[in-house]
Amino acid sequence: MPPICLSFDNGPEPGTTPGVLEVLARRGLAATFFVVGQQLRAPAAFALAERAKAEGHRIGNHTLTHGAPLGRRSAAEAVAEIAETDALMGALHGPERLFRPNGGGGLLGPHLLNAAALRHLVAHRHTVVLWNAVPGDFRDPDGWPDTARAMIDAAEEPVLLVLHDRPNGAMRHLDRFLGGLIDAGAIFTQEPPDACVPLRRGVDQGDVARYVTEDSP
């Protein structure tokens, strides 16, 4: 079984994130939470992000609104989605400014970024963290653990798993899912696989262009 890097997108959510944090603490696991900027405007949600950081998790930027992927937005809109969330995050940032674009259902491709977004990410020395396993807990709140386990069992490279701390009930299966992996001898890491990091501290790792739409409006 390859190493597994856990990440949670689209929170913080007061009805779900506390339970996720409790499971991770009980299991002794560290993850990265990619937060939606507009969520942080609620004091209770911001406090959850602070708690997650205090408990050893990393916090990353997952756009302001999680609307259309940035490759389908105007230059100004794309930059604002990143910059406004960075401002809202403030001290939640760690040594690396982590950013994850939204893919529209976990898809990878040039729709993730436009040229203006990439220029901004380079200028501000962001690290872009993508994914290689999206089991769809957002659309299949009960079936995702089996899907995720099948993805992990089939993988030959380290896995960057994307789950969502959203209020659809999917995370009630998290403890059982993680317990099964631990029992099977899984190794967990907080470091994302190199193959999922096309931009590190603003430096192209060799293939970031494949995630950029040059003809942005």
For residue 47, the domain's CATH number is: 3.20.20.370
Model pLDDT, residue 214: 77
Return the percentage of the chain with pLDDT > 70, whole number: 99
Residue 157 DSSP code: S
For the cut 80, the answer to whether the pLDDT of residue 192 exceeds it is: yes
Domain that residue 200 falls in: 4-207
E-assigned strand segments in the chain: 4-9, 32-35, 58-61, 97-99, 113-114, 126-128, 159-164, 199-200, 203-204, 212-213
Beta bridge partners of 34: 9, 60
139 lies in a domain? yes
199 lies in a domain? yes
| CA 114 distance to own-chain centroid | 19
Q: What does the alpha-carbon distance between residue 33 and residue 7 come to, in Å, rounded to a whole number?
A: 6
CA atoms within 13 A on the CB side of 35: 32
What is the end-to-end Cα distance of the chain in Å, rounded?
43
Q: What does the alpha-carbon distance between residue 208 and residue 29 come to, in Å, rounded to a whole number?
A: 29
Model pLDDT, residue 215: 59
pTM across the whole model? 0.96
For the cut 70, the answer to whether the pLDDT of residue 216 exceeds it is: no
What average pLDDT score do residues 52-62 get?
98
Q: What does the alpha-carbon distance between residue 147 and residue 103 come to, in Å, rounded to a whole number?
A: 19
CA dihedral sign of residues 142, 56, 98, 161: negative
Residue pair 71/112 in contact (Cβ under 8 Å)? The answer is yes
192 lies in a domain? yes
214 lies in a domain? no
Domain count, the chain: 1
CA angle 104, 107, 112 (to 5 degrees): 70
215 lies in a domain? no
What average pLDDT score do residues 43-62 get?
98
For the cut 70, the answer to whether the pLDDT of residue 1 exceeds it is: yes
Question: Which contacts (CB < 8 Å, 24+ apart) does range 144-148 have?
Answer: 144/170, 144/173, 145/173, 145/176, 145/177, 145/180, 148/177
Characterize the bridge pairing of strands 126-128 and 97-99.
Answer: parallel
164 lies in a domain? yes
Please count the other Cβ atoms lying within 10 Å of the Cβ belonging to residue 119: 15
127 lies in a domain? yes
162 lies in a domain? yes
Single-letter amino acid code for the residue at 122: V
For the cut 50, the answer to whether the pLDDT of residue 156 exceeds it is: yes
CA angle 154, 156, 157 (to 5 degrees): 125
